Amino acid sequence: MSLTADLPLTPITTDPSLTFQLLSTAHFAAVAHSQQRRKSPSSPAYVQHPLHVAALLASPASSLHPNPPVEVLQAAMLHDVIEDTETTVQELRERFGDVVTNIVLECSDDKSLSKEARKQAQIDHSPHKSDEAKHVKLADKLSNLTDLMSAKGRPAGWSVQRIQEYFVWSKRVTDSCKHVNPGLGEKLDEIYRSGTFELGGKTYKCHPDCE
């Protein structure tokens, strides 16, 4: 007997191939990041981050809802594989095509640069990225900032100054992107204006200068 006999199931999409594409992409990301962990105290699997980025883009809060482009969701799930794993550009193109690969490349830092140079490059290049890459960048930052607001989500050992500097830098990156997705843009602005975090028994503003 079916457990849902009186409650008909809702198909995820009218095109089964899209469901396969998304699940295959999630699996690829999980395998690519299988040896990586997040830096928060519980050291969760890294893949939870790119999956969260994709989920944010598909969420009701996103201006892409209810029909986010499949390629954008795929790129969200894969946005760190070139930068942080052994995956090659050629492998990504052969598996996912030019559109997805090009979005991922737009979202990837140049690891030959210093950390500070990479951070400045994100600020400088953000206004000139494709709308698709801007969507992913917004969700990426929203996911990371949400983690930083929680003691369970942020990297162990980060000081108040380092946390706040990350929020200040993130705002400089996302301010030139948020017009493509007003829904996620408003979520970010709300965090910048009134978000707080606790550290050492005290409460601090996430962005010290944003009202």
Would you name the residues annotated as active-site residues?
83-84
Residues 6+ apart with CB under 8 A from 74: 21, 22, 25, 96, 100
SS (H, E, C) 91-140: HHHHHHHHHHHHHHHHCCCCCCCCHHHHHHHHHHHHHHCCHHHHHHHHHH
Residue 203: phi and psi, rounded to 5, are -105, 135
Nearest to 131 by CA among 99, 93, 166: 99
- Cβ-contact 137, 107 below 8 angstroms: yes
Nearest to 84 by CA among 34, 139, 140, 158: 34
Please, what sign has the CA dihedral across residues 21, 23, 24, 29? positive
